[in-house]
Amino acid sequence: MDAVQEAFIDCFQALDRVDLTRRFYSWFYVILRNRCYKLASRRNKREMSNSDETEILAPAANVQPEETMLLEQAMLELPAEDRELITLRHLDGLSYQELAERLQVPQGTIMSRLHHARKRLRDKLTRHSFTGLSGD
Amino acid sequence: MTRVDCESACRSAMARKDGYVSDLSADQIEAHLADCSDCRGEVRQLRALANLLDRQKRRQRTENIWEHVEQHLPDALPARSTSRVWRAFVVLGLLLLGYRLVEMIPDRHLGLLFKLVPILLVIAAFSYLRENPFKINSELTLEGRVTK
């Protein structure tokens, strides 16, 4: 929450540098991301694990609460970059093109990073004895 | 058809599921998966994970952050930009004054390049301020007032 508030103020201060040819939210997202990293580096690990970040997923229809709980636990164990990518792709539904624009990297890099992030998440879930990945 | 390695095949198979077309064709991926049971298993697991993730809902935050942001807005922008502009013009003025003094020294033949110094200084000042001096501002506002 602090990061979002600070990001809005950063954004206001940087309004004269906004590039009107690009999407506003992509530009704002970069500011927000930088602010998150600054805040994260200020806090120690213990504070981070107890912070607002511990609620990523909400109860959804057709999903067992235990599944959601284990998935959230596994996601929290991922590196921040992996969690960000998976959240943007699967929970926010961004395409590779949108992800590339938002994170300012080529689409090929998104493909590669997302693949490794999902593999790491799969490994975490397996370690938590999650049984829902047997296949279609 | 070139031989495809396992990592590329799995990565491309997952990318295709996400709607992104990689360098590998669908035929190349399918051919590899048909031959490699390890990759078939890997892709099956990752697809199941992707489906599981797609079914999840993100928790929405409902806190009102506007109050905090609004408190900091009045002193956020004007103070910073005004002081920056003034500083730049004071420095520019001093440099131009120094240039004029040097120019007034008698019996000194300064080159053509020296004559371009004022222009370069002005360009440098506007570049620092990221302002275009030739741009016409169609949204002029009175000092201290903001148009909606």
The predicted model gives B21-38 an average pLDDT of 92
Whether the pTM exceeds 0.80: the reply is no
Report the mean per-residue pLDDT for chain A.
82
The predicted model gives A87-105 an average pLDDT of 91
The predicted model gives B62-66 an average pLDDT of 75
Judged by DSSP in three states, B58 sits in strand
* Vertex B45: Cα angle to B11 and B56 (nearest 5): 95
Q: What is the DSSP secondary structure assignment for residue B137, as one 8-state letter?
A: -
Task: For residue A56, give how far its alpha carbon lies from the nearest alpha carbon of chain B (Å).
Answer: 6
Residue B94 predicted with pLDDT over 80: yes
The closest of A39, A22, A2 to A100, measured between CA atoms, is A22
ipTM computed for the complex: 0.72
Residue B23 predicted with pLDDT over 50: yes
pLDDT of residue B145: 44
| Closest CB to B55 among A1, A63, A133 | A63
Residue B26 CA to residue B30 CA, distance in Å, equals 6
CA distances from A101 to A37, A88, A117, A128, B17 (A): 19, 12, 19, 34, 20
Chain A, nearest residue to B59 by Cα:
A58
Interface test with A, best of B8, B14, B17, B20 (most A CBs within 10 A): B20
Half-sphere exposure of residue B28, counting CA atoms within 13 Å on the CB side?
A: 17
Question: Mind listing the pLDDT tens digit for each residue in B97-134?
Answer: 998 888 888 877 778 888 888 899 988 888 887 777 67
Q: How far is CA A46 from the centre of its chain?
A: 19
pLDDT of residue B20: 93
B53 touches chain A (CB under 8 A): yes
Chain A, nearest residue to B23 by Cα:
A108
Residue B61 CA to residue A38 CA, distance in Å, equals 21
By mean pLDDT, which of A43-52, B3-12, B35-44, B106-115 is the weakest?
A: A43-52
Count of beta carbons in the 10 Å neighbourhood of residue A3? 19
